[in-house]
Chain A
């Protein structure tokens, strides 16, 4: 390499004219290497900013966001109306206080989060990095990096922006990075210096000049299409294509490499990471939606009440109030007079929608999430992973799941691949007792230097992206992105074909002790469309060119040369699949030198194209991957996780429908589906296949399957029918036969979709969602992320394929089997609790509101508030909030019972605890209780006792007493906390009011002492409780005994079981002799059964079911 003179350097780079900068706008950006300071304003600097607000816009922006919600707008409107003293029934502080409190709490939370983001950003922005400025290496803050700057990094450094690698300490130009912050994958990835730059020493790298063309910034972290051209005196060649393999993306870490340097191409918030950032839109649960609907209904009711009372009030005023000389209405009324009374009633009724409902729901939701985080039953000791609820707001939805769409590999299975069997040139190795690596026949063949076996093993060892790393003691460990590849390479090394070393474009393999070296010329990477990968290698010793290929059977079979018989291998592959093994076919072919030359040019062209690169490459690859010589097939086992079958069975009993979406083969998928209870085996269950390679085939097949399904559902021939569809057929079905497919899917509780792509997975989730079902998607890998984000609830398994899915998910679990507990226990309880909490919150406000409305009829419909400001404010905030919050600990039935009778989940799925009719019940109860409190108070406190402040406090305490009893009546299990909350709250109410009654300037001065000393007061309270609770309790008990819900039956059984458990067990021996006929309806027989087995499963179908392995 020639030395560069200063003047040359200055003269060389072409000036950017106005034209060229315009051109940039069209095709992306041109980055001039080492010219960072030249056009500092063209691109943003490297200042990272994740903050949502700054100091100036925080208040307006935050308020704007908070007032985006209907409820907040409503509260603000009410609070503003209250500022008008003519209409406000109470002190405006009673609304402004809580409102400001709530707003400032959520604003503070936002501000705190934003401040933390700001601190992290600041840390990243002010980190010092070495950057070449004017040919000299200087240390600057990371935020001052400009596009075009050359950045130097050392081992363990974090990459400050998106860069193209120009040099590394490795002579081959390899650099290792860890990308866990981007995609969650913890293995080391290799990045290589583009070949024109290989071998440049650090001095030259200070002076390097060139141009990089790259696209506009985007968020795809797996693609990077750019071209590099160096200016003379560096190799002044054509454009050199740059892929993601030549890049260092922001926030990766440099590992195992002493130093690396690169040129910044995307900076600041324009990096791949910066672009893909952004908060996902919040998910709204079905419960939230229902609450919104009910709140809307209440609002309508409120408006109706206001209009009616407003009219009545105005009418009364014009006819009666004028005669009341002591009210002294002015003769001439202002123009707005007619609206005053309606607005007064609006304010009086405004507590119908309490501010507290949102606060208590949010609080409860974060409790549910905490319970999930804390749950030791969902903690995996082996990997030290607890369950994590990333999204704290959607726990109720877990209890309402109707469809689960699950990935297979890594989710249902361990993703721990073991090389089980193989088939080499028609002979099979490995059987049920022995893995292939221990098969004596294979070992014998190996010892005999069978060339076919050696070819086979060589492909296994070379055709992959595995990185061998040698530990100090000489043993070699493999790091791979794909578990299958790792299994293949390890198996090959067990068979003495060891992958020793892998540099940028050279592989060393020891074959039976002899070291062979291969130059890797090209890697035809695996894509989900091609379903195969190949490498083109040149054997160093012989100079022979070879194409080594591995891939899915159909992908390989179609490119095998014509005269070869694939029948035998295809049969074996089918056999393997039926055993639930994952199969791959291996093939190779020799390449002539000139053929390669031709092809290589085309390949290069394709790889350097900026538009449609992937598609163009795939087209070129087809040219090379043909006329293959089929070597054989491998079979890898992926074991099922523990408890998968039981989990799926319980969840299916709970009425949840399962769809399996997998990239695997049809047969493998079907086999796994059978072994994990997706479908019952043959006599009871049936799998129907939707197949076809063309549109019409698929259509016909769909119709046929649908007909079968309809017949079987009317004849009850099978208990269980499922359909199986593959990716291709699915594409046709979704495109042309959507209606038919929807019909089919609605008939089927189970579906198996195989060979589907990530986007098809997301499409399917979207499809099921569009039928108004609550969906849960569960997966473990990057290919599941889209599906997880699409579903109502996304669950990620933090497994071997990295944390990508777990990061994107709402909940992350260590094992699939925890799903059962997550849904049945946490989901169900959360739903039940929120259902109670929300309806109760509205109920308690309604009670107070109804009293106010009733009172308006005895106060001349003038809008007088019976209660004073302090009571109104404290009622929702202090007096009634605590007992209801204790209901987040309530359990209607035990966890154990729920897990035993998963069917009970159907109550939650159907939304039976929170719907307009249950709410109507609460509404009626509020009306009844309001009437009870009002009538009793107004009839006891008459004549000389009829003093406003006293009556007000008597009515209020009547409400508080009722609330305590209502909460107690609706609570199923009383822990210490509930006792304290309910009882303590009542005591606290009195203490509070007694204290308030000592304040001389307050309106309540001495009132509480006064009424507490009246015997009539206590008799009134007792009467209110008796009259208010009696009918409700009677109704509840009647239902419990004579029209029990399924929950009631289980509650009763569970409680009786506990009593019998506590009693002597001796009686059970005698009783167990009598047969336990579960259909007997006589009490005696039922009791016998009770005592004979406390936790006998009630589910008859479970007994019938034969467990399959």
Chain B
């Protein structure tokens, strides 16, 4: 479209029709190339250092609890049976020691491993229309199977994602004093306003009737039928599916500073099943930097690319000093070099060219050695 517009515009210009538009042809010299690589290196290394530094300043407390919060012995089957048994209480207490000062806000995440929210069956299993309006067309709900209907009536919210909502809960104590966690504002505002309906209430939701599932697989959290969907921020956060099988989801915020030596006690209600698939559950308390959470990758990658770039520049400098090569030397034009020989060769010119180029390359090597 754009091009058509410009062509129409330029059609009037004879320089266009004659292919004589003024053109800028950047001239490559070794000097230029060396400077470009140097410049990239000079730009990347400080950026990398900066990013790495800020990532290192982020304080993170990670506590993996899925194995410790379960009777230690037992096979996988036993664990699964334990977690699926509704009757047993699954409370679990963990103590976290703050090693460094943490400035507010401190984010509380749960982290799941080996959980494929990006699985094709899973990621599509939702109805955006239903989430916003409550009732949805058949076609929009088609992807919700097998969590579309319960007893012949549509499930609200339907689909595997909502059904498998994470339902471990945490309560925090700081040095034996209850620590307030702000559980509001953890979901995106845009989702709460425009993606999830304020007048859509969960209904017919299978997790609310564990008996109705006939003892088959039990999903995740139950939903309060009196809370509209857009008020259930845990659900909204969960419905933003993760792109990787390892992910963190925001659970709340601690709106006060924590200091080194502080002891945090967490009472965990460990009910979410990750034992079927050898998943991991972690509780994370973390601060952020201007780049987000703790992630050294960006900084290291910048340092590596910057370093390689400077190394490349050095290589070019080295070659240039050791083996200066005249650019655009006409004697390298093969038809001058092999004059007389090629006139009687066969018309198959390709072969001749190959020979020529190999020859040229060898020459460079000889000159350099």
Q: A1006-B190, A1027-B301 are in contact. Are A858 and B119 (CB under 8 A)?
A: no
CB distance from A236 to the nearest CB of B (A): 67
CA distance in complex: A377, B247 (Å): 65
CA distance in complex: A886, B21 (Å): 13
Contact check, B118 vs A89: say whether CB atoms are below 8 A apart: no
0/1 per residue, B339-369, Cβ < 8 Å to A? 1100110110110010001001100100000
Contact check, A947 vs B328: say whether CB atoms are below 8 A apart: no
Contact check, A912 vs B330: say whether CB atoms are below 8 A apart: no
Interface residue? B260 (CB, 8 A) = no
Residues of A within 8 A of B349 (CB): 655, 906, 909-910
Contact check, A1041 vs B30: say whether CB atoms are below 8 A apart: yes
- Which chain B residue shows the least CB distance to A331? B216
Contact check, B240 vs A947: say whether CB atoms are below 8 A apart: yes
Interface residue? B65 (CB, 8 A) = no
CA distance in complex: A1002, B245 (Å): 25
Q: A1026-B44, A1079-B331 are in contact. Are A945 and B293 (CB under 8 A)?
A: yes
- Which chain A residue shows the least CB distance to B240? A947
0/1 per residue, B1-26, Cβ < 8 Å to A? 01100100010001011110111111
0/1 per residue, B41-65, Cβ < 8 Å to A? 0001001000100000000000000
Q: A344-B120, A858-B244, A906-B349 are in contact. Are A1019 and B291 (CB under 8 A)?
A: yes
Residues of A within 8 A of B276 (CB): 323-325
Contact check, A946 vs B247: say whether CB atoms are below 8 A apart: yes
Contact check, B312 vs A1034: say whether CB atoms are below 8 A apart: yes
Residues of B within 8 A of A732 (CB): none
Which of B170-178, B226-234, B262-270, B318-326 lies at the interface with chain A?
B318-326
Contact check, A327 vs B160: say whether CB atoms are below 8 A apart: yes
CA distance in complex: A1033, B350 (Å): 26
0/1 per residue, A974-986, Cβ < 8 Å to B? 1111001100110
Interface residue? A542 (CB, 8 A) = no
Interface residue? B138 (CB, 8 A) = no
Contact check, A974 vs B25: say whether CB atoms are below 8 A apart: yes
CA distance in complex: A347, B197 (Å): 34
Contact check, A1023 vs B301: say whether CB atoms are below 8 A apart: yes
Contact check, A943 vs B120: say whether CB atoms are below 8 A apart: no
Contact check, A1026 vs B241: say whether CB atoms are below 8 A apart: no
Contact check, A328 vs B147: say whether CB atoms are below 8 A apart: yes
Contact check, A719 vs B27: say whether CB atoms are below 8 A apart: no
Contact check, B330 vs A1053: say whether CB atoms are below 8 A apart: yes
CA distance in complex: A383, B129 (Å): 70
Interface residue? A1030 (CB, 8 A) = yes
Which of B86-94, B96-104, B150-158, B302-310 lies at the interface with chain A?
B302-310
Interface residue? A666 (CB, 8 A) = no
CB distance from A1073 to the nearest CB of B (A): 19
Q: A85-B142, A912-B353, A1014-B292 are in contact. Are A374 and B18 (CB under 8 A)?
A: yes
Q: A944-B249, A1037-B316 are in contact. Are A324 and B116 (CB under 8 A)?
A: yes
Residues of B within 8 A of A947 (CB): 240-243
Interface residue? B149 (CB, 8 A) = no
Interface residue? B298 (CB, 8 A) = yes
CA distance in complex: A1049, B220 (Å): 68
Residues of A within 8 A of B339 (CB): 1100-1101
CA distance in complex: A501, B292 (Å): 101
Q: A984-B2, A1086-B326 are in contact. Are A1042 and B344 (CB under 8 A)?
A: no
Residues of B within 8 A of A1051 (CB): 25
Q: Which of A860, A940, A1038 contacts B297 (CB 8 A)?
A: A940
How many A residues, CB 8 Å from partner? 132
CA distance in complex: A569, B301 (Å): 91
Contact check, B3 vs A981: say whether CB atoms are below 8 A apart: yes
0/1 per residue, A524-549, Cβ < 8 Å to B? 00000000000000000000000000
Contact check, B364 vs A1043: say whether CB atoms are below 8 A apart: yes
Q: Which of B47, B122, B336 contacts A326 (CB 8 A)?
A: B122
CA distance in complex: A975, B14 (Å): 14
Interface residues of A in 357-376 (CB under 8 A from B): 370-371, 374-376
Contact check, A945 vs B2: say whether CB atoms are below 8 A apart: no
Contact check, A371 vs B17: say whether CB atoms are below 8 A apart: yes
CA distance in complex: A620, B245 (Å): 95
Residues of A within 8 A of B209 (CB): none
CB distance from B226 to the nearest CB of A (A): 26
CB distance from B200 to the nearest CB of A (A): 15
Interface residue? A834 (CB, 8 A) = no
Q: A1026-B40, A1043-B361 are in contact. Are A859 and B297 (CB under 8 A)?
A: no
Interface residue? A469 (CB, 8 A) = no
Q: A945-B293, A1019-B51 are in contact. Are A938 and B119 (CB under 8 A)?
A: no
CB distance from B14 to the nearest CB of A (A): 8
CB distance from A44 to the nearest CB of B (A): 45
- Which chain B residue shows the least CB distance to A943? B248
Contact check, B21 vs A977: say whether CB atoms are below 8 A apart: yes
Q: A719-B343, A1023-B302 are in contact. Are A1086 and B121 (CB under 8 A)?
A: no
- Which chain B residue shows the least CB distance to A980? B6
0/1 per residue, A710-736, Cβ < 8 Å to B? 001100100110000000000000000
0/1 per residue, A881-922, Cβ < 8 Å to B? 010011001010001000001010011011110000000000
Residues of A within 8 A of B357 (CB): 1043, 1045
Contact check, A942 vs B246: say whether CB atoms are below 8 A apart: yes
Q: A858-B244, A943-B111, A1019-B51 are in contact. Are A1081 and B331 (CB under 8 A)?
A: yes
Residues of B within 8 A of A864 (CB): 118-120, 123
Q: Which of B240, B244, B329 contacts A1081 (CB 8 A)?
A: B329
CB distance from B362 to the nearest CB of A (A): 10
Contact check, A1098 vs B336: say whether CB atoms are below 8 A apart: yes
Interface residue? B335 (CB, 8 A) = yes
- Which chain B residue shows the least CB distance to A324? B277
- Which chain B residue shows the least CB distance to A709? B344
Interface residue? A941 (CB, 8 A) = yes
Contact check, A1055 vs B118: say whether CB atoms are below 8 A apart: no
Residues of B within 8 A of A862 (CB): 116, 119-121
CB distance from A1050 to the nearest CB of B (A): 8
Contact check, B109 vs A944: say whether CB atoms are below 8 A apart: yes
0/1 per residue, A674-715, Cβ < 8 Å to B? 000000000000000000000000000000000000001100
CB distance from A966 to the nearest CB of B (A): 15
Q: Which of A327, A976, A1000 contacts B21 (CB 8 A)?
A: A976
Interface residue? A1001 (CB, 8 A) = yes
Q: List 13 A-B pairs, Cβ < 8 Å.
A: A328-B217, A374-B18, A655-B347, A720-B343, A903-B333, A980-B2, A1005-B190, A1014-B292, A1038-B316, A1046-B334, A1053-B328, A1078-B331, A1083-B324
Contacts A324-B277, A858-B244, A1034-B37 given; 12 further ones with Cβ under 8 A?
A: A324-B276, A326-B160, A327-B122, A858-B243, A939-B301, A944-B109, A946-B242, A973-B25, A1005-B195, A1049-B333, A1058-B27, A1082-B326
On A, residues with C-beta under 8 Å from B are 85, 89, 320-321, 323-330, 344, 370-371, 374-377, 402, 653, 655, 657, 712-713, 716, 719-720, 746-747, 749, 773, 829, 855, 858-860, 862-864, 866, 882, 885-886, 889, 891, 895, 901, 903, 906-907, 909-912, 936, 938-949, 951-952, 972-977, 980-981, 984-985, 988, 1000-1001, 1003, 1005-1006, 1010, 1014-1016, 1019-1020, 1022-1023, 1026-1027, 1030, 1033-1034, 1037-1038, 1040-1046, 1049-1056, 1058-1059, 1078-1083, 1086-1087, 1089-1090, 1098-1101
On B, residues with C-beta under 8 Å from A are 2-3, 6, 10, 14, 16-19, 21-28, 30, 33, 36-37, 40, 44, 47, 51, 107, 109, 111, 115-123, 128, 132, 142-143, 146-147, 160, 163-164, 188, 190, 194-195, 217, 219-220, 240-250, 273, 276-278, 290-293, 295, 297-298, 301-302, 305-306, 308-309, 312, 316, 319, 324-336, 339-340, 343-344, 346-347, 349-350, 353, 357, 360-361, 364
